[in-house]
Amino acid sequence: MFDEHSRVLILGTFPSVKSREFGFYYGHPQNRFWRLLAVLTKTEPLPASIEAKKQLLLENEIALWDVVASCEIRGSSDLSIGQVVPNDLSTLWEKTSLEKIFANGDKAYRLYGRFWSDPIERLPSTSPANASYSFSALLEQWKALLPYLRKVC
């Protein structure tokens, strides 16, 4: 998900089972991604529909993509990811105005580093499996996006 105005890219690993069912990024209801972005961009109400989520991204010049195009995976566990085929990110570089790349979690960060050398900043995963981070702790780390967002808190 991106357009020519995208200035910041957030990379995940591979869609979870719930995201694949939902048909869009971070579809698990316990994933804190959309809540974090809503707070950071001062978006109310919390976007629920795919269209509202796309609007939030485009209005704030955020691109979303995954490092992995295909893989072997058990359920939604990033730890089980194997046989990785990376996504072709060249279209993103060519068709956007990217200034910064962020990884949503350690696995996305490490996989990205296997295939590309462009700088990337690791942020803690918004996944409900990352229970060691409270929402407020995640928010503090994810404030790294603020200089790249149109709307800021």
Domain boundaries in the chain? Answer: 8-148
Give domain 8-148's CATH number out of 3.40.470.10, 3.30.1330.10, 3.30.300.30, 3.30.210.10.
3.40.470.10
C-alpha span between 56 and 58 (Å, rounded): 6
| Alpha helices (H) along the chain | 17-22, 33-41, 50-59, 90-95, 106-115, 135-142
Does a cis peptide bond (omega within 30 degrees of 0) precede residue 15?
no
Q: How many CB atoms lie within 10 A of CB 92?
A: 17
pLDDT at residue 64 above 90? yes
C-alpha span between 148 and 18 (Å, rounded): 29
pLDDT at residue 101 above 60? yes
Instruction: Report the pLDDT averaged over residues 70-88.
Output: 80
Instruction: Report the pLDDT averaged over residues 96-110.
Output: 94
Per residue in 85-96, pLDDT (tens digit) is 998 998 888 999
Phi, psi for residue 101 in degrees, rounded to 5: -120, 130
pTM (2 decimals)? 0.90
Closest to 82 (Cα-Cα) out of 124, 123, 114, 118: 114
